[in-house]
C-alpha cells in the first residue's frame, strides 16, 4: 500500500491525540479530511474549553508546542446519518459528549461500529473519558443510549486493548448498564425527603 492509495481521512473528533500528524498525513496522501464541522476549532487549537475540560486545553496547548503542531482544514464536513462510500458503506453517527462534533462510523455490512472516544475498553478498566477530557459531558448519556439502541454486533473504540469487536460490545453493554443503574440510584436518593 502506498500513501496515495488512501482515499479519505475519517476523523472521529479533533483532540490532539487524533490530529497530531493530521496535516502531514493529508500532505502525504492528498486525501480529504472528513470530520464534523464543530471539530475545526479543536483541530486549530482555538476551542474555548470551560470548567474541568480547561485542563484538556492546557495539555493540548503544551502538546502542540512540543510536537510543532500544524493545523489542517476539514475538507468534507460530516453530518448525522450521512452515508459515506468507504469500506462498503459507512453511516456517520453524531455522538456528542466527548466533544460537540464527536462522531462514530457504522458499517451495516459488518454490523460494526467504530465508536471513537465514546468509551475506552482496557482489560483493567472500561470507562467513558474522564470529565476533564469531555467538552460537553451533559450529552454523553444520550450518545451512549443511541449506540445501545443501534445495537451493533461489534464495537471498536478508538482506545482499546485487543482488536475484538465482540469483547468491546460486551464491555460497552456492561458499562452502560452500570452507568444507568448508578443514575437510577442517584435519582431515588435525590427524591427522598
Domain span holding position 108: 3-181
Cell of residue 84, nine digits: 459515506
81's torsion region: left (phi>0), alpha (psi -120 to 50) or beta?
A: left
64-77 pLDDT tens trace: 999 999 999 999 99
186 located within any domain: no
What pLDDT shows up at residue 192? 67
52-103 pLDDT tens trace: 999 999 999 999 999 999 999 999 999 999 999 999 999 999 999 999 999 9
Quick check: 157 and 120 in contact, CB under 8 A? yes
47 located within any domain: yes
Backbone angles phi, psi at 190, to 5 degrees: -70, -30
98 located within any domain: yes
**pLDDT tier, 184 (very low <50, low <70, confident <90, very high otherwise):** confident
58 located within any domain: yes
**pLDDT tier, 169 (very low <50, low <70, confident <90, very high otherwise):** very high
What pLDDT shows up at residue 20? 95
- What is the value of pTM for the model shown? 0.92
SS3 of the chain: helix, strand, coil, percent, to 5: 45, 20, 35
113 located within any domain: yes
30's torsion region: left (phi>0), alpha (psi -120 to 50) or beta?
A: left
12 located within any domain: yes
CATH of the domain at 150: 3.60.15.10
69 located within any domain: yes
Number of domains the chain is built from: 1
192 located within any domain: no
Could you tell me the CA-to-CA distances from 85 to 7, 36, 69, 164 in Å, in that order?
10, 17, 30, 24
Nearest 10 degrees: CA dihedral of 122, 127, 133, 137? 160
Amino acid at each position: 500500500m502506498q500513501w496515495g492509495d488512501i482515499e479519505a481521512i475519517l476523523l472521529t473528533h479533533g483532540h490532539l491525540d487524533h490530529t497530531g500528524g493530521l496535516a502531514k498525513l493529508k500532505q502525504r496522501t492528498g486525501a480529504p479530511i472528513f470530520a464534523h464541522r464543530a471539530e475545526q476549532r479543536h483541530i486549530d487549537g482555538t476551542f474555548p474549553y470551560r470548567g474541568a475540560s480547561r485542563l484538556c486545553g492546557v495539555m493540548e496547548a503544551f502538546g502542540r508546542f512540543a510536537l510543532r503542531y500544524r493545523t489542517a482544514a476539514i475538507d468534507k464536513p460530516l453530518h448525522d446519518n450521512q452515508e459515506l462510500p468507504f469500506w462498503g458503506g459507512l453511516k456517520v453517527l453524531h455522538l456528542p459528549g466527548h466533544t460537540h462534533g464527536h462522531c462514530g462510523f457504522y458499517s451495516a455490512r459488518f454490523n460494526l461500529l467504530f465508536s471513537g472516544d465514546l468509551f475506552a475498553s482496557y482489560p483493567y478498566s472500561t470507562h467513558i473519558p474522564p470529565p476533564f477530557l469531555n467538552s460537553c459531558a451533559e450529552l454523553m448519556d444520550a450518545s451512549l443510549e443511541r449506540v445501545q439502541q443501534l445495537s451493533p454486533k461489534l464495537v471498536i473504540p478508538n482506545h482499546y486493548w485487543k482488536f475484538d469487536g465482540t469483547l468491546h460490545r460486551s464491555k460497552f453493554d456492561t458499562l452502560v448498564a452500570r452507568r444507568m443503574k448508578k443514575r437510577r440510584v442517584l435519582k431515588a436518593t435525590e427524591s427522598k425527603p
